[in-house]
Amino acid sequence: MVRWRNWLENFSHYSDEAVLGLGQTYSQHPEFAKFFEKYDAAFPEFFTRAIEHYCTNKK
């Protein structure tokens, strides 16, 4: 997740709250979910949960 967050920061600075919102979008917005489902049907939900875990447990 750190590598993904660093990549994301190339475009703009995002607060943890914004990153959490983006993570929720990956599984809740139909177009985002459809894009990630190409890799695995469970990936959108997994990615969202991974982002939530990263944001709440980072040190």
The whole-model pTM stands at 0.83
pLDDT interval class at 58 (50, 70, 90): confident
Asked if residues 1 and 50 have their Cβ atoms less than 8 Å apart, the reply is: yes
Domain ranges of the chain: 2-57
What does the pLDDT read at residue 59?
Answer: 66
What's the mean per-residue pLDDT of the chain? Answer: 93
Question: Region 27-31: what's the mean pLDDT?
Answer: 96
Residue 8 has pLDDT above 80, yes or no: yes
Question: Region 27-41: what's the mean pLDDT?
Answer: 96
